[in-house]
Amino acid sequence: METYDALLASIAPAAGAGRTILDPATGQPVGEAPVHGLDDLESAVAAAVAAQPAWAALGHEARSAALLKAADAVERSAEELARLLSREQGKPLNGPNARFEVGACLAWLRATAGLPLEPETIVDDGETRAELHYRPIGVVGAIGPWNWPMMITVWQLAPALRMGNAIVVKPSEYTPLSVLALAKVINEELPEGLLTVVSGGRDVGARLAEHPAIGKVMFTGSTATGRAIIKSSADTVKRLTLELGGNDAGIVLPDADPKAIAQDIFWGAFINTGQTCAALKRLYVHSDIYDAVCEELTAVAKAMPMGNGLDENNVLGPLQNKAQYDVVANLVEAAKASGARILLGGNPDTGRPGYFYPTTLVADIDNDNPLVAEEQFGPALPIIRYSTIDEAVEKANALDVGLGASVWSRDLAAAREVAARIQAGTVWINRHGAVDPRIPFGGAKQSGYGVEFGVEGLKALGVPQVING
């Protein structure tokens, strides 16, 4: 285990060769990130190609053991990693934030190491025998986002490595330090060349997506960037797993208990200060309990402190960058101008340092308002009134995205019936966004394709091979 300062120093570039990363809560420097270019990417890919065959030859048991050791290494440096994550990304140490994210890295590494993957006998009738196996792809390219930089990187690297692949990671330009530090710790337990982080710009990401030596690309981010990756990968027919933008709907049925569900709805929407692809971003509430839900949710939201992430009392932080702050601010202003009712927030303190936007709840808003129809990706939740279940389902399904959704009710059978009608990759009941390393996760419509997590996610990092005979 290294101290925080030693860990930060270990990933720093040579003097004058880096880029300063600023704390979104204070505007103060966090550290220097290397600026890698296309030559660095070529070196990383060449090292991955060289290292991968020996790694694949070790077999699942040895690779799983290495992942478990990597998890132990991350656990030894957990507090240092969480502190760096809090300073760079902005999320508080406490709540479902920085320490939670580092804990999720441990959980995914260990769960992925333990996933069973045995050959499947497809046919064995005395005349024909066919077995389905999964072989390594080779080298995987991973492009990650700035909202959960460590956790999503582990979602990408853990199954890739477990399946016998090498991996080259391109982190967001907003949060490279977190990913570099995480990889540095994990690499203490891996052979050289298997895992490399290339901290570059868009040119590096574009080249990674088209590189002929990369057999698969994993990407989490915007739908627009996902489309560009699809086009770039086409000439080399790469395998893809894309977890793209979402605008998740939640439907509260008329029998729900407003007080009982308010806190879970709040965290479904405001986890990581709303900066989560599978956060609840549109809440549809039946007219019978609309006012009660608004009242209970407002009471919960008022009690959640927002501020600098290193303050142990805070559970909400700033937006990670100015561009995202502006998106949220503009959408809320448009909602106010349309006549929507602000229950809480909507009044940022522009004299305060950092990209803090207050927790905002917006009621009596039309379904076609931009705050509802566009993914706000921040701490602002529109609450839309509905009269019939058919109306709520129609509105929930109206957009061209479908990552997650949720249904809230005391009647599980009724909730499941509604859930089956929603066009989304995952529909939770009486919770939202609860991902699990054992359960496949992926999007519908333009929220991407392919799944992560569980045995199905592990198979997606391999090439199926049938042995017939």
Give the residue among 215, 216, 213, 242 at the shortest CA–CA distance from 228.
Answer: 242
For the segment 29-42, the average pLDDT, to the nearest whole number, is 97
Express as a percent the part of the chain with pLDDT over 90.
98
Rg (CA), the chain: 23
Catalytic one of 277, 294, 375, 452? 277
Residue 277: active-site member:
yes
415: confidence class by pLDDT, cuts 50, 70, 90: very high
**Residue 465 exposed, middle or buried by CB count within 10 Å (0-12, 13-18, 19+):** exposed
268: confidence class by pLDDT, cuts 50, 70, 90: very high
Largest distance between two CA atoms of the chain: 78
**DSSP characters for 408-432?**
E-S-HHHHHHHHTTS-SSEEEESSS
What would the pLDDT profile of 323-381 be if each residue is shown by its tens digit? 999 999 999 999 999 999 999 999 999 888 999 999 999 999 999 999 999 999 999 99
CB 109 within 8 A of CB 329: no
pLDDT at 16: 79
d(CA 448, CA 184): 30
pLDDT at 350: 87
Phi, psi of 389, rounded to the nearest 5 degrees: -60, -40
pLDDT at 220: 96
What would the pLDDT profile of 75-95 be if each residue is shown by its tens digit? 999 999 999 999 999 999 999
Residue 294: active-site member:
no
What would the pLDDT profile of 424-469 be if each residue is shown by its tens digit? 999 999 999 999 999 999 999 999 999 999 999 999 999 999 999 9
What would the pLDDT profile of 153-194 be if each residue is shown by its tens digit? 999 999 999 999 999 999 999 999 999 999 999 999 999 999
What would the pLDDT profile of 293-307 be if each residue is shown by its tens digit? 999 999 999 999 999
Catalytic one of 101, 173, 243, 452? 243
What would the pLDDT profile of 423-432 be if each residue is shown by its tens digit? 999 999 999 9
